[in-house]
Amino acid sequence: MISMIFAVDPNFLIGKGNDLPWDYKEDLKYFQNTTKGKTVLMGLETFKSIFSRIGRPLPNRKSVVASLEPFAYEGVEVISDLFSYLKAPHDEEIFIIGGKTIYELSFPYADRLYITHIKKEHQGDVYLKKFDLSSFKKIQYEEHTDLIFAIYERVK
């Protein structure tokens, strides 16, 4: 199963430079808990962003990095053929964790979306195209003071 996990503000803002436009501890905790022990797939830019934040790949997860450049990092699987990876059968839930390019390319293959809706508008420069959620049904909706944790599943 292919899942995507991301946080967006009301204008579909997701990034500022190569970082997040906000710092919501609650969301980082939700991300950690949801993806812990799982395989996470990201574009090279998101890998670099994580690396510059924590100095290593995300711990306790298997990292897969999509890149068309020759790139290697110990313990990280690098794929150049994103679409073959997305189309291949996977026994486990694969989490797409960004960024803009990889979310937009992967959206047609996503079975489930974990969206953190940030209630406040923020400043930044990386926006997602508004996804058409008409073929998804909401299976979870948890409202907090600043955020909403929602999960959507594709209707087969």
Ligand X SMILES: NC(=O)c1ccc[n+]([C@@H]2O[C@H](COP(=O)([O-])OP(=O)(O)OC[C@H]3O[C@@H](n4cnc5c(N)ncnc54)[C@H](OP(=O)(O)O)[C@@H]3O)[C@@H](O)[C@H]2O)c1
Nearer to ligand X, 35 or 46 (CB): 46
User: Across-strand partners of 77?
Assistant: 64
Footprint of ligand X (CB under 6 A): 6-7, 14-15, 18-20, 42-46, 49, 66-69, 80, 82, 97-102, 105, 126
Q: What single string gives the DSSP state of each residue in 14-55?
A: EEBTTB-S---HHHHHHHHHHHTTSEEEEEHHHHHHHHHHHS
Q: How far is the CB of 106 from ligand X (least distance, A)?
A: 9
Nearer to ligand X, 68 or 139 (CB): 68
- Per DSSP bridges, beta strands 126-127 and 13-15 are antiparallel
Q: How far is the CB of 17 from ligand X (least distance, A)?
A: 6
Nearer to ligand X, 43 or 156 (CB): 43
Nearer to ligand X, 34 or 101 (CB): 101
Q: How far is the CB of 99 from ligand X (least distance, A)?
A: 2
CA distance 152 to 70: 35
Three-point CA angle 37, 83, 63, nearest 5°: 25
Q: How far is the CB of 12 from ligand X (least distance, A)?
A: 10
Q: Are 41 and 85 in contact (CB under 8 A)?
A: yes
